Amino acid sequence: MQILVTGGCGFIGSNFIRYFLKTYPEDSVINVDKLTYAGNLENVADVSGSARYHFIRGDIADAPRMEELINKGVDAIVNFAAESHVDRSIEEPGAFMKTNVFGTFALLEAVRKVFPKQRIRFIHISTDEVYGSLGETGAFTEESPLSPNSPYSASKSAADMLVRAYRHTYGLPAILTRCSNNYGPYQFPEKLIALMISNAIEDKELPIYGDGMHVRDWIHVEDHCRALDVVLRHGKEGEIYNIGGRSEKPNLVVAQTILERLGKPHSLIRFVTDRPGHDRRYAIDFSKIERELGWGPSISFEEGIGRTVEWFLTHQEWWKKIKTGEYLNYYKRIYENR
């Protein structure tokens, strides 16, 4: 099998490429990535010399380029490419519309133009944030209505609807996945866990929005990659699969856990003004993928956070290069203004 991975130089995409090439020694990957601020060739440096891996710098919103790539005989597309951070979507919503909506549209159109002569399986990676916010109880199922509350989640919801429409209208072999919050190696240090770990290592303050009691379900990226592999190989076309980690934690508890792992004082935590429209709680019901495809998370939060802390300790050169310049100034401005 030859797959086209979009956004494969980002956090989840690069982990998936590494997992896929290791798991299937006869298969190959074409990785197309625009290399925006969160796309990093160092994330895939360990596979770049493989004859089964080919990197192409490109924008998924570039329709002619996507058609050209699809005509290279790919069997499946796994679409990770997305602008993905809520804070940035509040500051720069236009970039999210272009990549997440028009980019997905360009990919779907490219697949449609070769269908049904080529039957390319299209796996679209979405997020639990499209469902909106929960109260203190309950969990999102695949039937939960979409209720996005940020420009980021609205753009992902629009992309999901495009995938659904192309499946319904044209019969494209498309599948949607919606996952809870990921963490693990090579995560860009704007996301909560990566930011908390890297700041704590440097004895810097850990900024926590509001009262710190916003709850997220956490999944180690390796478990997510395994779930996507199962969906790619055995998922039913036209279906949606929720993917979760069974690890609901308030952000404050996550920060405290990281500090304790590193032997750092809780006094490093600094509460900052909450961001606009901050969803209070996400929880994911992933019983469907457990029941129908036999997948479930295997890495507990305790094990996963320990592995992640160790990775950031041993890869400081990687993230310290990132936490300078544009990135550092951007987040300094955001936290100081709220």
Active site residue 129: yes
Work out the average pLDDT over 127-153: 96
For 31-56, what is each residue's pLDDT tens digit?
A: 999 999 889 999 999 999 999 999 99
From CA 12, how far away is CA 296, in angstroms rounded? 18
Per-residue confidence at 178, pLDDT binned at 50, 70, 90? very high
- Percentage of the chain with pLDDT > 70? 96
For 319-328, what is each residue's pLDDT tens digit?
A: 999 988 555 5
From CA 212, how far away is CA 272, in angstroms rounded? 9
- Domain assignment of residue 50, given as a range: 2-183+220-243
From CA 84, how far away is CA 241, in angstroms rounded? 19
pLDDT(11) > 90: yes
pLDDT for res 327: 55
Tell me how far the alpha carbon of residue 218 is from its chain's centroid. Answer: 12
pLDDT for res 328: 54
From CA 191, how far away is CA 203, in angstroms rounded? 18
Q: Is residue 80 domain-resident?
A: yes
CATH of the domain at 179: 3.40.50.720
Per-residue confidence at 181, pLDDT binned at 50, 70, 90? very high
Q: Which residues contact 183 (CB under 8 A, 6 or more apart)?
A: 191, 193, 194, 218, 219, 220, 221, 304, 305, 308
pLDDT(162) > 90: yes
pLDDT(332) > 60: no
Q: Is residue 16 domain-resident?
A: yes
Question: Which three-class secondary structure state does DSSP give residue 248?
Answer: strand
Q: Is residue 271 domain-resident?
A: no
DSSP secondary structure code for residue 103 in this structure: I
Whether omega for the bond prior to residue 297 falls within 30 degrees of 0, making it cis, is no
The active-site residue, picked from 59, 83, 87, 128, is: 128
pLDDT(302) > 80: yes
pLDDT for res 111: 97
From CA 238, how far away is CA 219, in angstroms rounded? 24
Q: Is residue 122 domain-resident?
A: yes
pTM score, two decimals?
Answer: 0.95
Work out the average pLDDT over 211-218: 98
Domain count within the chain: 1
Active site residue 128: yes
Work out the average pLDDT over 132-148: 96
Q: What is the CA radius of gyration of the chain?
A: 19
Q: Is residue 234 domain-resident?
A: yes
Q: Among residues 174, 289, 294, 182, which one has the least CA distance to residue 242?
A: 289
pLDDT for res 333: 54
Side-chain-side CA neighbours of 98 within 13 Å: the count stands at 8
CA dihedral 262, 318, 320, 58 (to 10 degrees): -130
Q: Is residue 267 domain-resident?
A: no
Q: Is residue 285 domain-resident?
A: no
The answer to whether 252 touches 208, Cβ cutoff 8 Å, is yes
For 225-234, what is each residue's pLDDT tens digit?
A: 999 999 999 9
The active-site residue, picked from 33, 83, 87, 129, is: 129
Largest CA distance in the chain: 61
pLDDT for res 72: 85
For 264-280, what is each residue's pLDDT tens digit?
A: 999 999 999 999 999 99
Q: Which residues contact 292 (CB under 8 A, 6 or more apart)?
A: 236
- Quickly count helices (H) and strands (E) in the chain: 13, 12
pLDDT(331) > 80: no
Task: Give 3-state DSSP helix, strand, coil % of the chain, rounded to 5.
Answer: 45, 20, 35
From CA 64, how far away is CA 54, in angstroms rounded? 19
Q: Is residue 87 domain-resident?
A: yes
pLDDT for res 338: 45
DSSP secondary structure code for residue 36 in this structure: -
pLDDT(10) > 70: yes
From CA 210, how far away is CA 279, in angstroms rounded? 11
Between 300 and 323, name the one with better pLDDT. Answer: 300
The active-site residue, picked from 53, 152, 241, 282, is: 152
| Distances, alpha carbon 202 to alpha carbons 150, 238, 260, 262, 323, in Å | 31, 46, 14, 11, 11
Active site residue 46: no
Average pLDDT, the chain: 95
Structure tokens at 180: 């809870």
Work out the average pLDDT over 2-12: 98
Structure tokens at 172: 């494209």
Which of left, alpha, beta for 291 (phi over 0: left; psi -120 to 50: alpha)? alpha
Render 298-335 in DSSP notation, one character per residue: -S-HHHHHHHHHHHHHHTHHHHHHHSSHHHHHHHHHHH
* Residues counted in the chain: 338
- Phi and psi at 268, nearest 5°, equal -70, -15
